[in-house]
Structure 1
């Protein structure tokens, strides 16, 4: 099996800085949660991975159905397929664990939109979640797993419990994992359009594909907005079926929202450029030790961001030093993508170009994500 869709998750417990990001965990009780997903690649069968990795209580799955999406919350009833777990239609996922469904034998292809409906009969408590959903989800009371269209729904702008989809692809199929922060996750791109820069880059590839393990607010060195990159590397990269390449953008949140560091030891205060360089070097070394191709990315511009306290002279100096190192001869990656140059204002490279600015001076819009994807040499991904 090879992963074709994936979501990196955050803890259901808010960190001291979570109010900055305005992302809110939530739970469900006697509700059907319907979420859509667009496959990056195809195969002859598939299985779904559910997660209670950050939950505080065992998670009762009262039923799960998979179907082809029509539009909105609608599904094609002919394709509606109940999932089973070790042959059973229901399951309980223990705290801290994940669960794979039994394989469903049906052909799927790249770009196909599927819908997963979960019936959650008990009180889940705050759930394991992704801050940026790949599309708007829908919630309704009771068990409506097979409803062709959900009426009077509550919209869901975060992703919950769905960790991944694997497909039965040819044995030599290889994929890339995009790892990092909101620039990777596509935080400011259009919901449901699949326009993060990794998704747009994936559509340029002629063999294999890219899956997205970005977490908005995530850091290289600090456990906030999910585990820091070095801590989540094994689960979110090394354990992904079929991975051969990793593309990284990380460090902006360490610079803009400094806190106690988790690597290599816990000093306090803003990380220095040398701290970030040490972290990125350790990341590349671990990827190489696992036999993977490591592709670095320069840190994007953010001067003039609307968020108070993020843009500082010290932070700008740190970003410049890290980017100079990434573009120099001593960096440890197999290749480096100049993400910053792809979206920088030529007249003031510390800012995002106006036509690529999502509006907050810190993130790029769909056009900016396309500019990054177009700037990547696709031959780097010999998948």
Structure 2
């Protein structure tokens, strides 16, 4: 994969089914007694040259098995599926959940079949979500779960999340209740249709969620794949270690921008903020880290993934942040502004782009328009050159932190601000 393609994608970047029921997320109010335990932000399918094209081709007589690490425990759970970007109603033949084993395997005896209004199959209308019926499966915070979906007919292009930093697996045929990994001979680092896991019956009472909203730095690019080493993961672990455990839900999309949509990098932040952040169950606080892609893409040649890429100004980005702040406050949600980390030496770095970043960071620190500020810029900067990431914290592209850098970011968050 070329450096240009890499930055373009990741820079902070149907046969008839069984009888089915059509269900939306509105079937039961999400805020009433359910807590978010895991979430991701979905995006439209696109062809790419860095992973198998499952999203573009979809699934047909296949099972897809996906691993997630949850941030809250409970006695019962349910999953959310999304057909936000489907071209046709999505016909789901069946689904199951289990505790994760090695790779695509699950722990025998833990597989639970999922239903949707008491039916094994369901249809998700275009643009809608699907919520499963609750099942009894006690889970603990930071436990890994595996969700398996089976599609008897062709789905068409799939609503998905491109940069999972976690493997998903595919097998021919119905393997909903198969504990083994043998049939799952294909893998890719994306999630498909799955956009949330919710729990109820939490031991120790309920806690309001934190949503980390952003681009590839929030998504965790540069961290160790499969290690749950993104900064939101490190923040959740820090909260647990200090006896202040609460869900931290990741709503990052690699390459996402504040001001412009992209065919492969998600809808702009101001358009997706309500769905991906404020509509999460019992959200209390959102941390916003967005803007570096608006700057980078405006300083690089246009590509199918980065257009439109007008030359952005600090004032335009600030207007976008103000829209996010107003939207959060209208929902009575706290919003924490994060400064944009250093990026000197990264592909697309220019002195003009650096001037925009510095002006944006000055406003974030001094305007008092956010409810609180987390200074990721100063936490990651090299003391010898404040425009660069400290070498020990750099994943190698001078833009994304490594595991140590993501831990430093989590440590920079004032827990009282949440």
Residue 313, structure 1, aligned to residue 351, structure 2: yes
Q: TM-score, normalised by structure 1?
A: 0.91
* 1:298 alignment counterpart: 339
Q: Deviations over 1:152-196 (max 9, x none)?
A: 511121111101011114574201111011111112211211111
For residue 103 of structure 1, the aligned residue among 124, 134, 139 is 134
200-209 or 167-176: bigger deviation: 167-176
Aligned counterpart, 2:38: 5
Mapped partners of 2:195, 2:333: distance in 1: 22
Q: Contact 1:77–1:146 at 8 Å: present in 2 too?
A: no
Q: What's the CA shift for 1:23? A: 9.1
Summarize the Cα distance change of 1:211–1:140 in structure 2 as closer, same or farther, 3 Å threshold.
same
C-alpha contact (below 8 Å) 1:188/1:364 kept by paired residues: yes
Unaligned runs of at least 5 residues, structure 1: 260-266
Question: 1:226 aligned to 2:266?
Answer: yes
Equivalent residue for 1:154? 186
For residues 187-212 of structure 1, give each alpha carbon's deviation from its aligned partner in whole angstroms, at most 9, with x where no partner exists: 22112111110110111111322110
Deviation at 1:313, TM superposition (A): 1.6
* Counterpart Cα distance in 1 of 2:51 and 2:220: 16
Q: Aligned residue for 2:293? A: 253
Q: Distance in 2 between matches of 1:23 and 1:187?
A: 18
Partner of 2:199: 167
1:326 to partner: Cα distance = 1.1
Give, in whole Å, the separation in 2 of the partners of 1:246 and 1:268.
Answer: 26
Q: CA deviation at 1:235?
A: 0.8
Q: Does the Cα contact within 8 Å between 1:215 and 1:226 map onto a contact in 2? A: yes
Say if 1:140 and 1:150, in contact at 8 Å, map to a contact too.
Answer: no
Deviation at 1:127, TM superposition (A): 0.6
The correspondence for 2:82, drawn from 51, 58, 63, is 51
Query: How do residues 352-371 of structure 1 correspond to structure 2 at under 5 angstroms?
Result: 352-371=389-408
Structure 2: stretches of 5+ with no match in the other structure: 1-33, 300-307
SS in 2 for 1:296: strand
Distance in 1 (CA, whole Å) between partners of 2:292 and 2:52 is: 18
Paired residues of 2:165 and 2:221 also in contact (CA < 8 A): no
Q: Distance in 2 between matches of 1:34 and 1:148?
A: 11
CA distance in 2, matches of 1:2, 1:196: 21
Q: Secondary structure at the match of 2:147?
A: strand
d(CA) in 2 for partners of 1:23, 1:189: 21
Deviation at 1:229, TM superposition (A): 1.1
TM-fit CA distance, 1:331: 3.6
Which one of 99, 111, 117 corresponds to residue 148 of structure 2? 117
Q: Which of 161, 169, 177 does residue 138 from structure 1 map onto?
A: 169
| 2:319 equivalent in structure 1 | 278
1:57 positional shift: 2.0
Q: 2:102 aligns with which of 46, 71, 82?
A: 71
Work out the CA distance in 2 between the residues paired with 1:116 and 1:12: 20
* Alignment pair present for 1:237 and 2:277: yes
Give SS of 1:45's match: strand
- 1:90 deviates by 0.9
Q: How far 1:4 sits from its partner (Å)? A: 0.7
Query: Residues 297 and 309 of structure 2 are in contact (CA less than 8 Å); yes or no, is this contact kept in structure 1?
Result: no
- Choose which of 328, 337, 348 in structure 2 pairs with 1:287: 328
Q: Are the aligned partners of 2:64 and 2:171 in contact in 1 as well (CA < 8 Å)? A: yes
**Per-residue deviation at 1:77?**
2.1
Structure 1 consecutive aligned stretches of length 4 or more whose deviation exceeds 2 Å: 21-26, 169-173
Which residue does the alignment assign to 2:25?
A: none
Aligned equivalents of 2:105 and 2:187: distance in 1?
13
Alignment RMSD (CA, Å) = 1.9
